[in-house]
Structure 1
Amino acid sequence: MYETLEIDIDKGIATVWMNRPDVHNAFNTQLIAELTEACQELDADDAVRVVVLGGRGKSFSAGADLNWMKAAGEAGEADNFADAMKLAGMLRTLAELRKPTIARVHGAALGGGMGLASACDLCVAGEQAVFATSEVRLGIIPAAIGPYVLRAIGARQALRYFQSAERIDAARAVHIGLVHECVATEELDAKVAEIARALLQGGPRAQAEAKELIAAVANRPLSDALVEDTARRIARLRATPEAREGLGAFLEKRPPAWVSKV
């Protein structure tokens, strides 16, 4: 179905491989469109519980395709805005998936590639991975990826890296909050599989609601309204079939239905 992607689905885990290895999985119009469509399809597939994003070849993603960027530089503002909105829409679609997402990063994750890693819920990187928001060295800014990178590393770190475009090695990426786990490259798939299996133990609706909870409470001041909102969220979920199944399975010392279906 896709020319720039390969998708493998096994036991509830969908792995989306960006497949433009000759250009280090750099973005172009087609990859952006196909990745948007793939995310929408996987989000609608109840058999898919976890989505992993990786890259074929030597790199996760080197950011924007040079030919695409050259064409953008020769286009007017209106055309550039349309292209930027497609990229921003793809990143938002990935970030707002109602199921857990894992970035599997090896090699380069530069510019938009770092944006993809940040838009996923979790990031697991090989020890040779390298990240950068390199846009200022091209006279532009990491605008579309900005909300996701800021969410991952915070404004203070972004003030440095958005302006310096320094390369960030995997160990440093862990330190600043961009990467959750850094492992030897040959152990990358095993670590991703380990985390994916852990994610499969959670209730699918509960995980979707957990993502919404974080979005609702992050960086908000504690207030009566916020406390009431959190209470309403748990009260609503306690009455769902998924919650009743989860509690019943715990008391009966058996796996819940969502685990046995995988």
Structure 2
Amino acid sequence: MTLIGRTRARAVETLGLNSPGNRNALSAALVGELAAALADCAGDGGVRAVVLTHTGTTFSAGADLRDPPRPEALVDLLRQIVELPKPVVARVTGHVRAGGLGLLAACDIAVASHRATFAFTEVRIGVAPAVISLPLLPRADPRALARHCLTGERFDAAEAVRTGLLTAAGDDADAVLEPILDGLRRSSPQALAETKRLLTTRVLEAFDQDAAALTALSARLFSSAQAREGMAAFLERRDPEWAV
């Protein structure tokens, strides 16, 4: 089974995360397939923009704890989305957790239905949102991030819009998306590429300055005793030993 569905309509390529059995967790295989699909879109003159969406009730549950990607591979994927010379638009109709929020932050535009929920759950399993902070910190509200990243609380689409994680939300994600895609289709490919380059300058500066250190931090935390306990507790559906 392919892990990335692909369709095209009027120069917009839709890439769908298609691993609903594990809630579209970011496995090594899924990250690899998504990177390959994005590379195809980058080199295809018939693609004006890319929509990143999902099957099932979850956009992405974050890193696959049974088959996690290398931190370097996740950094490369997030940078690839930021650097793609075509707008990438996230379309969310379900839940987004942990590393899935990194995908949203890397996209140029992100829309969701009001049914969507969000949470930075890394702290609950003994790690930190290290790699995903690269696109996240330049784009989202610092005070809101402090609360959500430190507590792991669940929040709704309205809060995600307020904090800058989403561009817009509504009862119907496709209705929200329609005028955005219409605008992209009416825009010059050259102008889109150069405008995106301007808009992503600071995000790419964060990758240049901090990617190596955050990759090392992620690897260190995931190999720690607390992370092993946190992941075991998650998979066994119990509280970790530090919960009080």
Same fold (TM over 0.5): yes
Once residues 17 and 196 of structure 1 are traced to their aligned partners in structure 2, the CA distance between those partners, rounded to angstroms, is 17
Deviation at 1:169, TM superposition (A): 0.7
Offset from partner CA, 1:209-247 (integer Å, 9 cap, x none): 1122223478x9xxxxxxxxxxxxxxxxxxxxxxxxxxx
Asked whether the 8 Å contact 2:49–2:87 carries over to 1, the reply is: yes
Q: Which letter maps to 2:148? A: Y
Question: Which residue of structure 1 aligns with residue 100 of structure 2?
Answer: 113
- Out of 155, 162, 177, which is 2:142 matched to? 155
Gaps of at least 5 residues in structure 1 are: 70-81, 221-262
Deviation at 1:99, TM superposition (A): 0.6
Written as runs of structure 1 = structure 2, the 5 A alignment for 1:114-193 is 114-184=101-171, 187-193=172-178
Distance 1:91 1:215, change over 3 A: closer
Question: Which residue of structure 1 aligns with residue 18 of structure 2?
Answer: 19
Q: Secondary structure at the match of 2:45?
A: coil
Q: Which letter maps to 1:150? A: L
Once residues 181 and 74 of structure 2 are traced to their aligned partners in structure 1, the CA distance between those partners, rounded to angstroms, is 27
Distance 1:27 1:217, change over 3 A: closer
Written as runs of structure 1 = structure 2, the 5 A alignment for 1:30-49 is 30-49=29-48
Q: Which letter maps to 2:94? A: G
Once residues 190 and 45 of structure 1 are traced to their aligned partners in structure 2, the CA distance between those partners, rounded to angstroms, is 27
Question: Which residue of structure 2 aligns with residue 67 of structure 1?
Answer: 66
Asked whether the 8 Å contact 1:13–1:49 carries over to 2, the reply is: yes
Question: Which residue of structure 2 aligns with residue 213 of structure 1?
Answer: 198
Asked whether the 8 Å contact 2:138–2:202 carries over to 1, the reply is: no
- Out of 84, 104, 107, which is 1:97 matched to? 84
- Quick one: percent identity of the two aligned structures? 37
Asked whether the 8 Å contact 1:103–1:117 carries over to 2, the reply is: yes
Once residues 15 and 110 of structure 2 are traced to their aligned partners in structure 1, the CA distance between those partners, rounded to angstroms, is 14
Deviation at 1:44, TM superposition (A): 0.7
Deviation at 1:177, TM superposition (A): 1.3
Pick the structure with more helix per residue.
1
Asked whether the 8 Å contact 2:59–2:93 carries over to 1, the reply is: yes
CA RMSD of aligned residues (A): 1.8
Once residues 128 and 171 of structure 1 are traced to their aligned partners in structure 2, the CA distance between those partners, rounded to angstroms, is 10
Is the counterpart of residue 199 in structure 1 residue 184 in structure 2?
Answer: yes
Once residues 54 and 186 of structure 2 are traced to their aligned partners in structure 1, the CA distance between those partners, rounded to angstroms, is 26
Task: Return 82-91 or 116-125, whichever deviates more.
Answer: 82-91
Q: Given the two structures, how large is their TM-score scaled by the length of structure 2?
A: 0.79
Q: Secondary structure at the match of 2:59?
A: coil
**Which structure is higher in RCO with an 8 Å CA cutoff and minimum separation 6?**
2
Once residues 143 and 83 of structure 2 are traced to their aligned partners in structure 1, the CA distance between those partners, rounded to angstroms, is 24
Q: Which letter maps to 2:31? A: I
Distance 1:32 1:175, change over 3 A: same
Once residues 196 and 26 of structure 2 are traced to their aligned partners in structure 1, the CA distance between those partners, rounded to angstroms, is 27
Q: Secondary structure at the match of 1:68?
A: coil
Deviation at 1:3, TM superposition (A): 1.6
Q: Secondary structure at the match of 2:91?
A: strand
Q: Give the count of matched residue pairs.
A: 204
Larger radius of gyration: 1
Distance 1:101 1:26, change over 3 A: same
